Amino acid sequence: MNAKVWLVGAGPGDPELLTLKAVRALREADVVLIDDLVNPAVLEHCTNARVVTVGKRGGCRSTPQDFIHRLMLRYTRQGKCVVRLKGGDPCIFGRGGEEAMWLRERGVEVELVNGITAGLAGATNCAVPLTLRGVSRGVTLVTAHTQDDSSLNWRALAEGGTTLVVYMGVAKLEEICQQLLDGGMAADMPVAMIENASLPQQRECRSALWRMHEDAQAFALKSPAILVIGRVAAPGQAACLAQAVSA
Ligand code: SAH
């Protein structure tokens, strides 16, 4: 196979949520660069690959992005097929876009492979429909964490009325709550906080906007977790959905 980089989403954790295309890329890979939110169980699809662990987990020192870029370039110049394996989808808060651009600028062939992003998997596994006729006509994925600490326009999000799925929000619950309340969101807006979505250790905590920080503390919510904020996260909605699915 020709030298190239596959930027592959490994999904949220459950190895069965891997796409067939991701499996093909892993089979063909000479080298796999794996982030640490990826479940290593997916590596069973590799036939002959050297596995290199890169990335970080909550607050640990990360492998510098520049080093990862250069590593991918070096391997492709050696004629190798490289799979860069990322948690969820490579282009949802996963730097897939940046890496693809950097590599293409240097003449490297790049192919992106979707993965199921954590927000979608978490909501579905907790029977929260992110859109629901008559309840929510849209969904917005946001990250609470930015490199330059700039703030999101929380008022616009509160007023927008779509379901919000917040990534990297565990350390910022108090701020998120305050900003959304200030932006006019109802204090009793239902919230589902989902930790380790799709893994056997998945946990979910149901709450409401005004008390989500307190509830998360009592629950000892830890990263990785996503927050689903919106009427669709009301426990009653989940019961309706579970009924509809089993009918
Ligand atoms: N590209 C990834 C997101 C990477 S950002 C994706 O598409 O899913 C890392 C954040 O994703 C974490 O802080 C957390 O908010 C979320 N996340 C990743 N895996 C998760 C999981 N299994 N359960 C809950 N949240 C998860």
Whether 168 is catalytic is yes
CA–centroid distance, residue 79 to ligand 1 (Å): 32
What is the three-class DSSP state of 88? strand
Q: Which numbered atom of ligand 1 lies nearest the CA of 58? A: 13
What is the three-class DSSP state of 11? strand
User: How many Å apart are CA 4 and CA 121, to the nearest integer?
Assistant: 29
- Residue-wise pLDDT tens digits, 97-149: 999 999 999 999 999 999 999 999 999 999 999 999 999 999 999 998 877 77
Q: Residue 58: its pLDDT value, please?
A: 44
Q: Give the residue ranges of the chain where pLDDT is below 70.
A: 1-2, 56-62, 237-247
- Mean pLDDT score of the chain, rounded to an integer? 92
User: How many Å apart are CA 242 and CA 247, to the nearest integer?
Assistant: 9
User: How many Å apart are CA 34 and CA 43, to the nearest integer?
Assistant: 9
Domains of the chain: 5-113 (3.40.1010.10), 118-246 (3.30.950.10)
- Backbone Cα Rg of the chain: 19
Whether 56 is catalytic is yes
Residue 90: CA count within 13 A, CB half-sphere: 26
Whether 4 is catalytic is no
Tokens of 96: 């897939």
